[in-house]
Amino acid sequence: MPGITDLDVLISSMKPDLVDGGFAFCSVPASALAGYLHLQPVGLFQEKEGVTLIVPVHMARQAGLPVEPAMRMITLNVHSSLEAVGLTAAFATALGNEGISANVVAGYYHDHIFVPASDAARAVAALEALSASRRAP
């Protein structure tokens, strides 16, 4: 099934889900990546400076990697198309209006937003309010 591209449908039907546990963004040398895969990364991205890993905080601590700032992951449970226009801008604006930073990872099916752990509940509330604002009365 193809992802949704209609912005109103995406926003009105998105269901933000706060994933259990905290996450840390860590950078490791590309040449050492194999030695860190046991940390169960939920995401990784190759950059010229190294490989960014997004790993559970407890796994990062066990490996002696930095865990600050601790982040929480919010998954938008709506199948957004990789070609959808405006969804990231809409939720980034909603979070920005609340003074909440957002680090976004787009998966094939869903967008995942990493926010500071201390802001997680407010972020979910802001996203739920955004979604409710686009639903028909």
Q: How many domains does the chain have?
A: 2
Helix (H, G, I), strand (E, B) or coil at 114: strand
- Please tell me whether residues 82 and 126 are part of one structural domain: yes
pLDDT in tens, 71-116: 999 999 999 999 999 999 999 999 999 999 999 999 999 999 999 9
- Please tell me whether residues 107 and 60 are part of one structural domain: no
Q: What CATH number is given to the structural domain containing 87? A: 3.30.2130.10
Q: How many helices (H) and strands (E) does the chain have?
A: 4, 7
- Please tell me whether residues 44 and 103 are part of one structural domain: no
* Cα-Cα-Cα-Cα dihedral sign, residues 101, 105, 110, 116: negative
pLDDT in tens, 5-56: 989 999 999 999 999 999 999 999 999 999 999 999 999 999 999 999 999 9
- Please tell me whether residues 48 and 115 are part of one structural domain: no
Range of the domain at 9: 1-21+70-137
Q: How many residues does the chain have?
A: 137
Q: pTM value?
A: 0.93
- Please tell me whether residues 57 and 95 are part of one structural domain: no
Beta strands 43-47 and 111-116 are unpaired
- Please tell me whether residues 30 and 94 are part of one structural domain: no
- Please tell me whether residues 7 and 57 are part of one structural domain: no
- Please tell me whether residues 43 and 96 are part of one structural domain: no
Task: Point out the domain boundary residue: 33, 53, 68.
Answer: 68
- Please tell me whether residues 92 and 122 are part of one structural domain: yes
